[in-house]
Structures are given as C-alpha cells and as structure tokens.
Structure 1
Amino acid sequence: MARELVIELDKLIEDELAVRLIVPEYAKDVPKLDHISVIRMGRARGSLWEQLCLGPYAVKERAYCLNICSIAPLISRGAIFIHDICYKERPRYFKSPYARISQIWHKINYQYAWHRADRVYTVSEYSKSRIVKVYGIDPSLVKVVYPGWRYFEAVEPNPKIGERYPVVMEGEFYYSLGSLAPNKNLGWIICAARHNANSLFVVAGGLNAKAYGSLLGKAIPRNVLFVGYVSDGESKYLMQRCKAFILPSEYEGFGIPPLEALSVGAEVVVSNVTCLPEIYEDAVHYINPRDPNVDLDKLLSEPVNSPEAVLAKCDYARMASTVYDDLKTKIGA
C-alpha cells in the first residue's frame, strides 16, 4: 500500500511544497518520483529504523512525519496509518515470542497515535469504529481511506505456475492465498476441501503442505494443492483461471486480494465478518468463517451484483487526494 500511495501523492505535489520520502539506505524497489525527493539514510533494520533514524531526522528538520506503515517514531509529530487493531483485539493470535514482542510494540504505537498524532488514517469504517470504541478516542481524529487495485492492471499474468503444476491448466479449482497468520483461517480451506471432495483447492503461500499440516494439526486432504510462493503475475494468472477466489479470514482491516480477484473478473468468496461486508457489499459470496460445511457449487450459483461499484470506491488516487489535502493544511502550503 505504501508504494502505491507515494506514487499517487507524487502526482499531486506542488512545487512549493517540500515533501521528502525517507527510506533506509538498503531500501529496494523505491519508485521513481518527479516531485518528491528521496533521501536514503540509516542502516537499522525493522522497527528500529523508525526510532533511531527517521525519528531523529524528523525532529532535527522540524518535519511533519506521515507514517504509512503502521509504525511511527515516538519522538516526532505527524500522522499515522493504522489498518486495524488486531494486536489489541485478538491477543490469542500472537503466541510465539516474536509475535508477542510485535504485539507489545504495536500496542505502544497505538498509544502514540492516540496521544501524539494529529491524524490517524485507517482503511475501513469497521476499523475506525473499533478504534473509537476500544480506545475511546475522538472519532474526528480518525479518517477512513480505502486502498485501491489499479496497480494490478500493470501486472502481467504469468502462466509458469502451470508448468510446475499442470493441473491448474487442465481443470477447475478454487484459489486461496495461504498464510499461517491465525486470522487468515487457513483451517477453513482444509475442512471445506473435505466437504467438497470433488473440487481442487489451490493454496499459494510460503510454506509447504507438511509445514501447514503440522502447524494446523490437521491432515491435508488429497484435493488440496500447496503451490508455495507465487509471484504477482502467477497469482493473477490463478485468479483469472480459478472457479472462485476464497478469503475465509476471521479478522481483516481491509482485505486486498479479493479486490485484485474482482478486478480480473473472478468470482469471490469471503467471510461475513469484520470489514469484509462493508468493502465488498453485494459483489461477492459470503461464508461463515467458523463453518466450513459449505456446498461451494451451490453457493456460487447464487447471484451477486457487478463489482463496478466496489472497484470504483477503492482507489489510491482518491486516498492520495485526501491525504494530500490534510498535508497542505499541516505544513503550510
């Protein structure tokens, strides 16, 4: 999201407005920008970079800091994006030592946001409502801006995934992007595959079937195919060919992959919880993320609306325009 927002902001920047993109020295895939200057600084990694490099720089330059990646320097003023408060609301998701440290650190940043930031951006009305209710903050501090999907138009579908797994070129299949993050609810796919035994379920992600099975504590059915990591082009190819793209998440702040799938004409199935009904309205099919006993063929036979309205409201250019208007009032343009 950060890259796409910066690209759209660059199109809006006026010459008299001094805007800089600060990135670590080792940053890769930094976009070419015409109106935003790029400054590389600091070699600290992860969240330390914001605190040890970005924060002191912002204070020294007396700069207003727009923090797009959910973490902000604790010593500087500015605005922050917080996609959701999963770290606060779903503590059971964070069991490993690393996950618990990440949870604590994000909750500290939440406190920064409520007390130091003068604007909090989030990506759904659902997330805003939870932020306001759980933390009791002024609703006017939080502004909703929907991410977009048009970057996906430039991605070329890559059929090489079919060379590795010819079955995806030969017949119908359901497609999911798998993750072991508990909120992604991969277990639903495994159980649904048992109830739809004549259908193939293709799951892309960084871990193999053995790793998924051991961590899920479930035997993997024969009709579930783990294809490992896929590129954006390969994922687009699978979305174009699949019978439906499935996102069975228990918790989302937005959920971008179904938007990508809709943009290429795929049927989409998502959970009926958190922000997903808000974002996807009547353009998708809904499932209960706690009930995998679903006849997917029957579900897909039910009519849905055109995705045009959903695709129209989700736009990085609109997000950038909202953020830019706020920036101009904060830094005196």
Structure 2
Amino acid sequence: MEIAIDYASAVWQGAGIGRYTRALVRELLRLDRENRYILLFPAGLPGWPAPFLDHLRTLRDMRPDLRLRPLPLTDRYLAIFWQRLRIPLPVETLCGRVDLFFSPDFVLPPQRRGRRVVTIHDLAFLVYPECAVPRMTWYLHGAVSRAAARADLVLAGSESCRQDVLRFLCLPPERVVVLYSGVESYYRPLDDPARLAEVRRRYALPERFLLTVGTIEPRKNLPRLFQALSTLPEGIRLPLLVAGKPGWLYQETFDTVERLGLQRWVRFLGFVPDEDMVGLYNLALAVVYPSLYEGFGVPPLEGMACGTPVLTSNVSAMPEVVGDAALLVDPKDPASIAEGLRRLIEDEALRAVLRAAGPERARLFTWERAGRQLYELFRRVLGQK
C-alpha cells in the first residue's frame, strides 16, 4: 500500500508538532516494512530553505525505498494555498496515487480517493478562544472541523483531548482514538558532572532554580505563575527560568514581571535546543507547568523523565499524563500555585518521592510504542490483517 505523510511540520518546526512528527514517523518507518511511504513537504524557497531538512538523510539511510516529495515553497504558503484559499488541487497531483494520507498537524489537503488519518493535538482554540489570536481561531475552527469531518480516523493526544473532539466536533466515538506522544530516550537523569557544569556555565545558572518550559503565550499561564512566585517570602523564593520563545499575545507575560517587580527573579532564556534542555531539566530544583489547557503536555513528561520534581495543573490532559508522579495545583488560583511552589522548595522528602516516581511514569510513554500503535491503526484503516 502507498502511504503519504504531510511532513511540513517536521522540516519547519524545531519543537512541538515538529518534534512529534519527526519522532513518530521515524518509529513508523522503522517498524512498518510492509507499506511504502512518501513524505510530502514544502522545502522552502531560494535563500529561505526549511530549517530542519538534515535528518531526512538518516531516514533515507534507514529506508532506501522512502520517497521524498519536496515542494518549492514555504509551509506558510502551502497552508494558504490549501487551507485559506482552499485551492482544490488534490494531493495525488503532487505524490501520485495513495491508499492512505496521514496528517500529523490538524488539517488535511484535498484528496480524490484513499483513506485519511489526522492528528488533532488539542482544541485550545475552542476551549480557550481568548488565548488565541481571533483570526487564527476563525481559521482553525474551519480547517480543523473540515479535516475531522473528512477523516476516516482522528488521533487525539490524550483521552482528555478525545473528549474535547467528541464534544466540540461531534464525531462518532469509534472514529476518534487516543495516540499518546512519547519522550525521547535522551531525556533521562544525567550522571555527567562535566556536561552539567557546561550547561550551568553557558546559561549562567544559579545554584538552585525553578524551570518552566514552553512557547510564551496566554495558555501557558505565566502571569499567574509570576503572581504566585511574588507571594513567596524572599527567604524561600527561588529564581524562575523560562525556556521558550515568544509566541503570540505575550506582552502581558513580560509586563507582569515588571508590574510585580520580579526582574531579579525571572529570566527569559528564549529557545533552548534539546541537548541543553536535558541539562536544564537535570539542574532545576523543579519543573513548574501550571498551563490552563493541554492536549498532552510534553514538558512535565520530559522533566519527570529526567528525574526532576514536577508541578503541573490538575486540569485537561496533565493529570492523565503525570499520574501520581507530580504535584497538581489549580492553575487559575495563584494561591494554589504558590502553595505548591512552597512545598516543592521546602519539602525535601516530597522532592525525593517525585524524583523516584517521575522516570518510572515517563517510561510508559515511548515513541516506539506510539509508532507501533500508529502502524496497527493504519493496518486497521486499510483493512490489512
């Protein structure tokens, strides 16, 4: 069977859905020797190439039969072409006949025939529309609803996300299944003093600090986290490092630091590459992630995999992912967040329990498991036995 995959996010996005797509497709190609695969992606323009193309060589070495279909445009232009202008150019025109098309990034292109599978990572734009740019909410509502209606199978990032899909998009329950993400094996407790010392030097890290990770946007709830931090007595308060680049509607986040006088206590690191993130997780006293809503929630899982105590929200997918291996708080209540911070900072016994429980919980979420489940789902959709 011929299976084509929308690989745009994998070559244009370093984290988030880009990382999800690279890891999931890697494991799928390693496991499935029965079907033939085509990766369709916008490779960029002259002087503006896609930034994450190098790993394709590794995929071709692993699967010499893998076919690549690069397009001479950017991911933005491709989205405009298919989703905003809704140009009815079928995907078969670009990659030939396919038996199944898989999109790991919310939307589907026009397609004449064959099966369709799409991943919907979350419905934040419907659950928390105030946390998104209105034009983007309007676009996603239309494009994601159309993709879900056309798909033979929708993959949800968690059971929490699945319930949101059923509620908001009104799909039959049998067409929506949970496919959990994994955590890369290099997220682990490090016993490498030289490597840790180099990360500490590179980022001028204090001896003890808290870490939060993610794109800076309203859903990450950083203003309430800063408010909680500001209420802790200075005798126990720790510096908070924010690893992640600005996304959208982020000005309130920066203004809150100024308004609360936390310039000494909050540092914005910008985007941090994976090889340094492992060190940051290991060096942090705790990972704090009081997000308002997640379809899965990768940073808490990465922190737990590294053996670092985690504080996260008691809503949406977070309890489902972390289980009993993290400290849960009410993300809408700064007092609840502050009490959680205080407990993690002061209670060494609690931190020891979470350090032991985190890696064990994280081992439940592997990309090999996700790839195998996706392979079996493809076989089911294609009617293979």
Q: Same fold (TM over 0.5)?
A: yes
Instruction: Give CA-to-partner distance per residue, 1:71-94, whole Å, 9 cap, x none.
Output: 221445510000111112221112
Closer, same or farther: CA 66–268 of 1 in aligned 2, 3 Å: same
In 1, the alpha carbon distance for the partners of 2:125 and 2:252 equals: 25
In 2, the alpha carbon distance for the partners of 1:112 and 1:47 equals: 19
1:182 aligns with 2:218: yes
Instruction: Give CA-to-partner distance per residue, 1:215-270, whole Å, 9 cap, x none.
Output: 87734412222223322222221110111001010010001011111111101110
The RMSD of aligned alpha carbons is 2.9
1:85 aligns with 2:123: yes
In 1, the alpha carbon distance for the partners of 2:202 and 2:90 equals: 43
Counterpart secondary structure, 2:311: strand
CA contact (8 A) 1:158 1:234 kept: no
Partner of 1:18: 36
Q: Deviation of residue 299 (structure 1)?
A: 4.3
Partner of 1:43: 72
Partner of 1:226: 268
Q: Aligned match of 2:321 in 264, 275, 279?
A: 279
CA contact (8 A) 1:158 1:236 kept: no
Q: TM-score, normalised by structure 2?
A: 0.75
Instruction: Give CA-to-partner distance per residue, 1:281-310, whole Å, 9 cap, x none.
Output: 100011111222223232463455723552
Q: Deviation of residue 279 (structure 1)?
A: 0.9
Counterpart secondary structure, 1:79: strand
Q: How does 1:1-333 map to 2 (within 5 A)?
A: 1-14=20-33, 16-26=34-44, 27=50, 28-31=53-56, 32-33=58-59, 34-35=62-63, 37-49=66-78, 51=82, 55-57=91-93, 60-75=96-111, 77-94=115-132, 99-153=133-187, 159-166=197-204, 168=205, 170-196=206-232, 197=234, 198-207=237-246, 212-214=253-255, 218-221=259-262, 222-293=264-335, 294-295=338-339, 296-299=341-344, 301=347, 302=350, 303-304=353-354, 306-331=357-382
Q: Which moved more, 1:294-303 or 1:75-84?
A: 294-303
Closer, same or farther: CA 120–216 of 1 in aligned 2, 3 Å: farther
CA contact (8 A) 1:213 1:219 kept: no
Counterpart secondary structure, 1:251: coil
CA contact (8 A) 1:12 1:324 kept: yes
Q: Deviation of residue 178 (structure 1)?
A: 4.9
Closer, same or farther: CA 308–171 of 1 in aligned 2, 3 Å: closer
Runs of 4+ residues deviating >3 angstroms: 56-60, 74-77, 151-161, 209-212, 214-220, 302-305, 329-333
What letter is aligned with 1:177? V
What letter is aligned with 2:276? E
In 2, the alpha carbon distance for the partners of 1:107 and 1:306 equals: 38
Q: Deviation of residue 140 (structure 1)?
A: 0.7
What letter is aligned with 1:2? T
Q: Deviation of residue 110 (structure 1)?
A: 2.3
In 2, the alpha carbon distance for the partners of 1:151 and 1:70 equals: 26
CA contact (8 A) 1:58 1:65 kept: no
Counterpart secondary structure, 2:216: coil
Q: Percent identity?
A: 24
**Any unmatched runs of 5+ in structure 2?**
1-19, 45-49
Q: TM-score, normalised by structure 1?
A: 0.86
In 2, the alpha carbon distance for the partners of 1:273 and 1:249 equals: 9
CA contact (8 A) 2:223 2:252 kept: no
Q: Deviation of residue 59 (structure 1)?
A: 7.9
Counterpart secondary structure, 1:306: helix
Closer, same or farther: CA 57–48 of 1 in aligned 2, 3 Å: farther
In 1, the alpha carbon distance for the partners of 2:40 and 2:197 equals: 36
Closer, same or farther: CA 71–220 of 1 in aligned 2, 3 Å: farther
Counterpart secondary structure, 1:234: helix
In 1, the alpha carbon distance for the partners of 2:100 and 2:261 equals: 50
Closer, same or farther: CA 56–163 of 1 in aligned 2, 3 Å: same
Closer, same or farther: CA 219–38 of 1 in aligned 2, 3 Å: farther
Closer, same or farther: CA 38–189 of 1 in aligned 2, 3 Å: farther
Tell me the number of residue pairs that the alignment of Structure 1 and Structure 2 aligns. Answer: 325
